[in-house]
Amino acid sequence: MSADCPFCAQPVPAQALVCSSCARDVTIPQSLLDERDDLVRKRAAIRAQLADAKAELETLRRRRRILLRRH
């Protein structure tokens, strides 16, 4: 089974890594997919940390406003 190269539209065997017509990469190496997945997980963790930090900051701001009103 083959597919067409997304760059030159020539047929490329399913197992090919590079198009024989235009020499462009037609598959993504597993190591890059793994790295991408790791970066996506790290990004999600950092976004969660940021959301937690924003919530904590808002809590501190509310407490400060309450304390300032009392004085």
DSSP lists the bridge partners of residue 4 as 11
Q: What is the pTM of this model?
A: 0.62
Cα separation, 41 vs 39, whole angstroms: 5
- The per-residue pLDDT for 29 is 87
Mean pLDDT per 10-residue section of the chain, whose length is 71 residues: 90 93 92 97 99 98 93 74
- The per-residue pLDDT for 71 is 74
- The per-residue pLDDT for 8 is 95
| The pair of three-digit structure tokens given for residue 26, joined into one six-digit string | 């037609």
Cα separation, 71 vs 67, whole angstroms: 7
Q: Locate the domains of the chain by residue range.
A: 2-70
- The per-residue pLDDT for 14 is 87
- The per-residue pLDDT for 26 is 92
Cα separation, 49 vs 24, whole angstroms: 39
Cα separation, 39 vs 43, whole angstroms: 6
